[in-house]
Structure 1
Amino acid sequence: MTTRTPTPNEIRAALTEAGAARSRDLADRLKISEAQLLAAQTGHGVIRITAHPDVVIHAAERMGEVMALTRVEAAVHEKVGTYANYHPGPHAAMVLADEIDLRIFPKHWVHGFMVEHEGEHGLRRSLQVFDAAGDAVHKIHLRAGSDLAAWVAAREALATGETADTLDVAPREPVEAPKSDPAKLDILRKEWARLTDTHQFLRLCSKLRMNRLGAYRIAGAPFARRLDPGCVDQMLETVRDRETAIMLFVGNRGCIQIHSGPIRTLRPMGPWQNVMDPGFNLHLRRDKVAELWAVEKPTQRGAAVSVEAFDAEGGLIFQCFGVGKDGNDHRPAWREIVDALPSAEEVTA
């Protein structure tokens, strides 16, 4: 039975009734995408804009200090900084600024909006980009010190002139289930041991018709060790206590956002573990972590060791690496933290 999509008037009425409820939560309740929720507000503080990153990032570079937000279902990654050093590309692009570090996949930047809404502390302004299914890819929130003249100029430059308050979206692509082939285990381990760069790993998986999680499940030591999913807090607390610099990645199909540096403040709240530092916030649903893996990949710069979290469908929630020095991927302080994390088998026993 097909669920009827609410009309724009019904969506706006639901928004008024919901008050301060999060847009994503309200969209889920209405059984629509977050992009459709925004589209219904076109002309009511929302303008439809060109979504391509070449245009959006160029506009963001002029706005000064902003907050960049990238999320998946179980994690929200927020960084404060300025957009700069943008490297365009038809298949992959990058922002390589000191605070804001992004890997961008332009084909998933499909629907764009400029949003002005009254919030608890005044008018809130943001650029928001969504994929073909209407799921959030990347958001740019202005802050008190952002350049409002640049915002006004972007509104003129980016607006498409589209006034429709409905939006057609494609079906959401399902998460690829873990894929492995035990018959190719010897080839996997042999080729894994020959890696010289971490980026070669996914190409290896593709060649063997596996994917990341499927390969981890069969590889075994010394390449992959399944961890107790409940030790995420232990990892973050030890990183905080030892002031160890990390690289923490959260990404969806259209954008990967990276924090590089230490973490200082953890504030757990219900199922959420929250990093609440001045320039970096992470909101992580610990109860959504179904599998946690310690992974080692050889590189020309030494072994790259990561901790990687997956949800029940096999979707990647986050990856965490240590930050190396002098171009070396071998990070003893980080490896010591990872080696101390309990294996899933230990907890079961």
Structure 2
Amino acid sequence: MGQTTSPSAETIRAARIEHANLRERDLADKLGITEAQLLAAHTGQGVTHIAPHPDTIIEIASSLGEVMALTRNISCVNEKVGSYGNYTSGAHAAMVLNDKIDLRMFPIHWCHAFMVEKETDAGVRRSLQVFDAAGDAVHKIFMRGETHLAAWDAAKFASALPDQPTQLDLAERTAPEAAKTNREKLDVLQSEWSKMTDTHQFMRLTSKLRMNRLGAYRIVGAPFVRPLATDAIDRMLNDVQAAGIEVMVFVGNRGCIQIHTGPIETLKPMGPWQNVMDPGFNLHLRLDHVAEVYAVDKPTQRGKAVSVEAFGADGALIFQVFGVRREDYDSRPAWREIVDNLPALELETAV
């Protein structure tokens, strides 16, 4: 997707005025462009290009006090309120880790970034927005109030890039990787799975066997993976709410993974969406996008890590939920009970 396929900046700005009530993502879809192209068309009109590396973005975010962090994929949105303290940089992966904001960031996919000032009925809404090479959103950070406005203004002045284009050259969007399965290595997969001592070893194992996450889940079988009915996702969220336990909810894309650790208190279904609407944490999940669900059991040195993981029809991971264990709290027994009682996938049999 290059700039020759995009409408002119003038056309995009006119469409923004005409469809003022549409969200940016919906307007971009309507115009056949990406969110990054929509923002670039407003360069100099509330939009400023800045360096897209996490080092730059998180340095600015950490000066803005309490903010709202948003990470999404096409089917799920994770929104957390907190501050960007305790940042660790890295060439291949960076991290923010504190009691509210918990992120894993992959700089290779942080390709375009903007400081955005948008007029709304409630006043100017300020945000940092990061996009990948195809112009799809990776991570967004929204200011709350104007207490740190001086820090925002200083960062915008110091961080603006010399080049401020109104159009972007973008890469073609890469389709999610389909399930990769290697049945010839099933015995090795099962044997090595049973020997894992850390969940992070899983991706190295599947890569070594020329599989991926979904491909391995489809074939490894009991006692490691149990296919679940697609409606198990909604039941799981309701059961976690009813039990009052804390869980870890992972939502991500190629460039960022955002993690909520805590309870699920308020569920508000709306059409195809199931929504968590809690103070400091919102989750928006398209239940109709869920095509495959698995209960997954991985051994670790701290005990078994049990997760429920949902995938879209294209094979993309939508989100994952785990139990929580820390020094003063362990939700894993209650979480295991919830997972064990989720409905299994009913496989069709030939007659």
TM tier, shorter chain? over 0.9
* TM-aligned CA deviation for residue 325 of structure 1: 3.1
Any unmatched runs of 5+ in structure 1? Answer: none
Name the counterpart of 2:214. 213
Q: In 2 relative to 1, CA 266–239 (structure 1 residues): closer, same or farther, beyond 3 Å?
A: same
2:322 alignment partner in structure 1: 321
Write the letter of the residue equivalent to 2:345: A
1:13-52 CA distances to partner (integer Å, 9 max, x unpaired)?
1111111211111111211111011000001111111111
Deviations 1:102-143 (CA, angstroms, capped at 9, x unpaired):
001011111010100111211100000001110100000001
What residue is the counterpart of 1:111 in the other structure? 112
Amino acid at match of 2:305: A
Give the corresponding residue for 1:160. Answer: 161
SS at match of 1:345: coil
Which whole-Å CA distance do the structure 2 matches of 1:283 and 1:232 have between them? 13
Tell me what 1:97 maps to: 98
Equivalent residue, structure 1, for 2:197: 196
What is the rounded CA distance, in whole Å, between the counterparts of 2:43 and 2:291 in structure 1? 38
Give the share of equivalent positions with the same residue, in percent: 63
Indicate conservation of the 8 Å contact 2:48/2:160, yes or no: yes
CA distance in 2, matches of 1:77, 1:241: 21
Supply the distance in 2 between the matched residues of 1:177 and 1:158 (Cα, whole angstroms): 39
The answer for the alignment partner of 1:151 in structure 2 is 152
Question: CA offset at residue 163 of structure 1?
Answer: 2.5
After superposition, the CA RMSD in angstroms is 1.8
Task: Describe the SS at the equivalent of 1:124.
Answer: strand
CA deviations over 1:277-302 (Å, ceiling 9, x no partner) = 01000000000001111000000110
Contact 2:247 2:331 survives alignment (8 Å): no
CA distance in 2, matches of 1:73, 1:45: 26
Alignment of 1:262-301 (within 5 A): 262-301=263-302
Counterpart of 1:13?
14
Determine whether 1:246 maps to 2:247.
Answer: yes
| Matched-pair contact (CA < 8 Å) for 1:302–1:329 | no
Aligned length: 348
Matched residues in 2 for 1:254 and 1:212: separation? 17
Structure 2's unaligned 5+ residue stretches are none
Q: Give the Cα–Cα distance (whole angstroms) in 1 for the partners of residues 240 and 118 of structure 2.
A: 37
* Aligned counterpart, 1:343: 344
| 1:275–1:328 distance in 2 versus 1, CA, 3 Å | closer
CA contact (8 A) 1:302 1:330 kept: no
| Counterpart Cα distance in 2 of 1:296 and 1:4 | 46
In the aligned structure 1, how far is the partner of 2:162 from the partner of 2:124?
A: 23
3-state SS of the aligned residue for 2:43? coil
The amino acid across from 1:286 in the alignment is L
Bigger drift between 7-16 and 325-334 goes to 325-334
1:80 maps to 81
The 1:145/1:261 distance shift into structure 2, 3 A limit, reads: farther
Structure 2 distance, partners of 1:4, 1:219, is 44
* Aligned amino acid, residue 322 of structure 2: F
Q: What's the secondary structure of 2:325's corresponding residue?
A: coil
Taking the TM superposition and a 5 Å limit, the aligned residue runs for 1:231-242 are 231-242=232-243
Runs (4+) off by over 6 Å = 327-330, 346-349
Query: 1:92 touches 1:104 (CA, 8 Å); kept in 2?
Result: yes
Distance 1:267 1:331 in 2: 25
In structure 1, how many angstroms separate the alpha carbons of the residues matched to 2:154 and 2:294?
Answer: 46
CA distance in 1, matches of 2:158, 2:127: 15
Please give the secondary structure, in 2, of the residue aligned with 1:13: helix
Distance in 2, matches of 1:327 and 1:206, equals: 36
Cα separation, 2, equivalents of 1:184 and 1:288: 30
Q: TM-score, normalised by structure 2?
A: 0.96
Q: Deviations over 1:70-127 (max 9, x none)?
A: 0000001000000000000000010012100000101111101010011121110000
Deviations 1:202-240 (A, max 9, x none): 000000000000000000111111111112111011101
SS for the counterpart of 1:240 is helix
- C-alpha deviations, 1:137-186, integer Å up to 9, x for none? 00000012651111111101211032321111011111000000111100
Letter in 1 for 2:58: I
Partners of 1:312 and 1:242 in 2: CA distance: 30
- 1:80 counterpart letter in structure 2: V
Provide the residue aligned with 1:22 in structure 2: 23
